[in-house]
Amino acid sequence: MPTFHRVLPPFFGAIAACLAASLAIVAAPAQGDCPRAMAVRVPQVIQYGAVVACSGVTYQTGGISLSTTTGCPLFATIVPEHDDVHPTDKRTEVVQTGSRPGVIAYFACETSYLLFIPWNSRCRLQQESPYGVYPLLITVACRNP
């Protein structure tokens, strides 16, 4: 049974800090407090699930590029470019300006016939499903210096 040292960061990783910062935006003026937070851009990350051999692998969209080299993954998780909240010494805070969805792309290697030379297998996109939401943030000066 695993042991847990502490509660993980809230919703979608560093969004914990984002939410805290968002709350702070409301609370800060009244309390004269500043969260000293800044937005940091996080690049898109694509991770692939278990790969099956599939001869006809050709797929390109939204940064995913599959080939005979990559094989055919069961799924790919696409975390979009978004912003993370980092602490800073400066008197700044973050404001949410928008969001982007995280997406799971499901693939299947379709083989119409079990062939010794698997010529006609094709890695096909079956479904793209949003699975989460990531923030777009900007850094602004705290309103109460």
Partner 1 sequence: MATSMKTPAQIRQGRAALLFAALLPLLALVGALAAVKIAAPAAPPAPTAESPPTAMVATLALPAPATPPRVAAEPPVAAPARTFDDRIDELVALGRRTAERAQDDDHDGAAASDREARARFDELMAAFADAGERALRGLVAAIDAPVDGFVQGRELVLQLVVVTACARRAADADASGDRSPIDRFVHDVLAAIPANAAMAVVGERALARQPHLRLAHETAVLRLVELAGAGAVPQATATALLLTLWDNLQRFGERSSAALAALALALVDGADPSQRLAACRHLLRDPRYRAIALASLQTRGDRAFVADVATAVAQDLPVDDALGVLAELGPTLGRAPHAYLVCGHRDPDVVADAYRRLLADDVQPDRRADLVAGVGMARTATGLDVARTALAHDPSPAVRLQAVFALTANADLETALAALLQAADDAALTADPLRCDGLAYALQNLERHGDADAIDRATRRLGALSLSASGRAALAAIRERALPGGGASAPGGGR
Interface with partner 1 (CB under 8 A): 1-16, 18-19, 22, 45, 47, 49-50, 53, 55, 67-69, 71, 74-75, 77, 79, 96-102, 104, 106, 112-120, 127, 129-133, 135-136
Cβ nearer to partner 1, comparing 11 with 91: 11
Reported residue count of the chain is 145
Sign of CA dihedral 63, 71, 79, 130: positive
Supply the DSSP symbol for 24: H
Sign of CA dihedral 39, 98, 43, 46: positive
Cβ nearer to partner 1, comparing 36 with 122: 122
Cβ nearer to partner 1, comparing 3 with 145: 3
